[in-house]
Amino acid sequence: MDDQQKNAGQGTTHFGFREVPETEKAGLVGQVFSNVAGKYDLMNDLMSLGIHRLWKRFTIDQTRARPGQHVLDVAGGTGDLGAALARRVGPQGRVVISDINPAMLEVGRNRLADKGIVGNVEFVEADAEHLPFADQEFDIVTLAFGIRNMTHPEQALREIQRVLKPGGRALILEFSHPTWPGLGPVYDAYSFHLLPHLGQLVAGDRESYQYLVESIRRWADQETLKQMMERAGFELVEYFNLSGGIVALHKGIKL
């Protein structure tokens, strides 16, 4: 059986600027994040000049997390949001950090243990498109810089909606499309010329960072993601452009 026959009737999707069979994307993305896990946080600081910390802080503030609440951080990787949320919900609350990639989870588990954040945090290896949690289990679900890497992002949004309690909030932080006049060309030049080179210099991995840049360019704009969330069942969806639209935070409610 040749490759064309094997792929007959099988959908394709994008992996950066490449088109690949849907069944291959998760494995390809998994390899990228296994490659970059050890340098992920350092590279985030270098690539964003530290501004990613402000984006995440804004996201945490918008969760309005309170003591005792149950929170799920999907694609939580190295635990940036999870650590902050654990402090907000306190010892009577619960934070679950899920990620499909075990290497990223291991980095997060070690980081939070080093900070003494252990009692109210769980780490779960899970596919965001098939979350292993009960209906209406969480008060808040966050997802930062992960949805663009998913094969079926709308399925992940439906799963997030499913596991939220009525009145619960979903917050999706993701790279988006610049809105400031003249910012787009500058951002493209920075992304395509400097970031892969930085990935090679610091992490020894140009290809993974080339993919990450390309995945940002292929991702939906602000209005498209808003519509995706509405189709997944969220109400009162709004978004906040950060750093001129380079990043956007989308927020939706399950009524």
Query: Can you give the length of the chain in residues?
Result: 255
Claim to verify: residue 13 and residue 41 sit in the same structural domain: no
Domain assignment present for residue 186? The answer is: no
pLDDT, one tens digit for every residue, the chain (255 residues):
444 444 444 799 999 999 999 999 999 999 988 888 888 877 788 788 899 999 999 999 999 999 999 999 999 988 999 999 999 999 999 999 999 999 999 999 999 999 999 899 999 999 999 999 999 999 999 999 999 999 999 999 999 999 999 999 999 999 999 999 999 999 998 889 888 888 888 778 899 889 989 999 999 999 999 999 999 999 999 999 999 999 999 999 999
Answer yes or no: is 99 a known binding residue: yes
In a domain, 59, yes or no: yes
Could you tell me if 226 and 164 are in contact, meaning their C-beta atoms sit under 8 angstroms apart? no
Alpha-helix runs per DSSP H in 37-70? 40-48, 52-63
Is 128 labelled a binding residue?
A: yes
Cβ proximity of 69 and 140 under 8 Å: yes
Is 205 within a domain?
no
Question: Does the annotation list 78 as a binding residue?
Answer: yes
Q: Are residues 43 and 112 in the same domain?
A: yes
Between vectors from CA 83 to CA 129 and to CA 54, what angle results, nearest 5°?
Answer: 90
Q: Are residues 107 and 226 in the same domain?
A: yes
| Measured distance CA(107)–CA(74) in Å, rounded | 15
Residues 52 and 159 both lie in one domain: yes
Structure tokens at 155: 């399925």
Number of domains in the chain: 2
Q: Are residues 13 and 96 in the same domain?
A: no
Element containing residue 109 per DSSP (H, E): helix 102-114
91, 151: one domain: yes
Structural domain range at position 246: 35-178+213-253
- CA within 13 Å, CB half, 153: 21
CATH code, domain with 149: 3.40.50.150
